Amino acid sequence: MSVDKQLVGYLPAGFPDLPGSIDAALALLDHGVTAIELGVPYSDPVMDGPVIQEAANAALEGGFRLSQLFEAVAAIRRRSAAPVYTMTYWNPVLQYGVDRFADDFAAAGGTGLITPDITPDVAADWIAASERTGLDRVFLAAPTSTDERLRMIAEASRGWVYAVSTMGVTGAREDLDSKARALVPRIRAAGADRVYVGIGISTAEQVAEVWDYADGAIVGSAIVRAIQQDGAAGAARIAAALSPR
């Protein structure tokens, strides 16, 4: 496999606690994951499946505060040059302040935001803030997206576009939806340089399958489940098991 193919590992910031999430992220990076996606725990997640919801709720019940996201990013970046993204629903960013969030995330060493519940046509404030701070903008594209919508997403995104492999919430699946294989070339035809695929990826075989037609694979629920079971040691084991290299 090309070394340019990316394996992105997702985990909620502050899970199982703040130091534990930092240790787990670093363990992922030490064992084959090439970029981190830190989720912002949120009380009303529209996309998260049961595994990630449970972990996010545990972080919130443990007292997670949004400022801890920036602490986690900074701690990871002090020990790794790997990209660190955050996946965040838009309400926490609005409540914090779009410009303030962008400034604090960039100052911590963050790479960019993945925003599942905001579309480019209503993201003018975020687009302006990311232009000013140089942060990546990762918008989501679904199999149901029209060609016009895909062109808008490709034009507005910076870094890569997140191709949703299947409709529905996150969670490991035995078989990846074939719609992802059809969606990726549509996104590229719309103008995107790089496309990563997420939702439902949980094995090295599935990562290799995605790498066959996309630039990156994103794994979430399988990693979170491993962390639930054994903390950073679980993160290390699942990362090593996921990497086809």
User: Angle 50-61/221-242 helices, nearest 10 degrees?
Assistant: 110
What is the reported pTM?
0.93
- What's the CA gap between 126 and 7, in Å, rounded? 26
Query: Which fold, 6-131+204-242?
Result: TIM Barrel (3.20.20)
Percent of the chain with pLDDT over 70: 92
Q: Going by C-beta distance under 8 Å and a sequence separation of 6 or more, which residues neighbour residue 120?
A: 127, 139, 152, 153, 155, 156, 157
Lowest mean per-residue pLDDT among 48-57, 89-98, 127-136 = 48-57
| Nearest-10 Cα torsion for 195, 198, 204, 207 | -20
pLDDT(46) > 80:
no
Instruction: Tell me the mean pLDDT in the region 211-223.
Output: 96
Q: What is the mean pLDDT of the chain?
A: 92
The Cβ-side half-sphere exposure at 100, using a 13 Å CA radius, reads 8
- What's the CA gap between 151 and 49, in Å, rounded? 28
Domain chopping of the chain, boundaries: 6-131+204-242
Which sign, positive or negative, has the C-alpha torsion 77, 219, 144, 191?
positive
The catalytic position among 48, 104, 177, 215 is 48
Whole-number pLDDT of residue 48: 66
In angstroms, the Cα distances linking 40 to 92, 121, 221 are 8, 23, 15
48 is catalytic: yes
The catalytic position among 37, 104, 177, 215 is 37
Summarised one tens digit per residue, pLDDT across range 57-67 is 999 999 999 99
